[in-house]
Amino acid sequence: MARRIAAGAAYGGGSIGLIGAAGMGVLLAEVQLAKRSVGGGVAPVPPSADGWYGALFGSMEPVRMSMLGDSLAAGQGVRRAGQTPGALLASGLAAVAERPVDLWNVALPGARSDDLDRQISLLLADPARIPDVCVIMIGANDVTHRMPATESVRLLSAAVRRLRTAGAEVVVGTCPDLGTVEPVYQPLRWLARRASRQLAAAQTIVTVEQGGRTVSLGDLLGPEFEAHPRELFGPDNFHPSAEGYATAAMAVLPSLCAVLGLWPETDQLDVTRDEDVLPVAKAASAAAAQAGTEVTGVRAPWALLKHRRRRHLASPADEEATATTQVRPA
């Protein structure tokens, strides 16, 4: 299905349905029930985390990093800038690179893939500040708003191509597994999981084809998200809590460092962690089924499937060393 979605996006195919008409009545009832439960709390407006990280590294040339996407990339659900995924990733990248990191987050809560073009235009408006690396997190709103999967994937492909053409490295955190949202019941939970994974796999295919890397966010990464929903979901029962964002950022950080040449690369695959070279469609499917998996292109049509060891992220107590030293006006 992911291969069909990607092919439809590339060759102008129409929408590919993910469910049959027979279950529509039950599904609509489940949707109404979920709407009464999800979003019952109040998700804080995401705090601005723009600015420089890694103050200990002084006036060295910074790594320019940008976050794009939806509420997940923006950090909706937490109240402190240091708890957003952008701040966590920028702090971790500064520590690994031993250089300051200039973070610019243009993600918009509620955004779908059709907003990526606007976000990229903001980033590329000043040629002197084109980012070195971009992290995109998008897809959840495409599923919940029933955007045709082929359209969603086509827009992401165009976004990655545009950033790569501008000279930026790109890491995409693929569509999270909406089947882990606690108040969603069967059969909607199963349908949400199926749609999320199919979109994530298709996102992986087109991103790798355009020269980017992907990290599967899945259930925001590992069985702990389902086992401890009260800790890892925010007050609105939908957006991650600070612990949830930290878990996701820990999985993305190694790939973010690797794409900049800051993480040790080896030709030796770790078979104990199921690393392999596979056709890109098979690698995408495997990644969608296992959160925290990186997929990067080798040579068409092959891709490298990796399970990187997670890098420890700075705790709140470390923020004095890696906190924002210069905040850009909103």
Active site residues: 71, 236, 239
* Rounded (to 5) percent helix, strand, coil in the chain: 50, 15, 40
CB 228 within 8 A of CB 222: no
Residue 265's H or E segment, with its range, is none
Q: Which helix (H) or strand (E) holds 66?
A: strand 63-69
Q: Which two tokens stand for residue 93?
A: 């990248």
Is residue 43 within 8 Å of 77, Cβ to Cβ? yes
State how far the Cα of 270 lies from the Cα of 304, in Å rounded to an integer: 12
Contacts of 198 (CB under 8 A, 6+ apart): 1, 2, 5, 18, 149, 288
Listed as own residue / partner, the contacts of 303-307 with beta carbons closer than 8 Å and 24 or more positions apart are 303/208, 303/277, 303/278, 303/279, 304/275, 304/276, 304/277, 305/274, 305/275, 305/276, 305/277, 305/278, 306/275, 307/270, 307/273, 307/274, 307/275
Cβ distance 115 to 108 under 8 Å?
yes
Residues 6 or more apart in contact with residue 227 via CB below 8 angstroms: none
Tell me the C-alpha distance between 147 and 33, whole Å: 21
Measured CA to CA, the distance from residue 53 to residue 87 in angstroms comes to 8
Q: How many CA atoms lie within 13 A of 131 on its CB side?
A: 30
Helix (H, G, I), strand (E, B) or coil at 161: helix
Packing angle of the helix pair 188-209, 149-165 (nearest 10 deg): 30
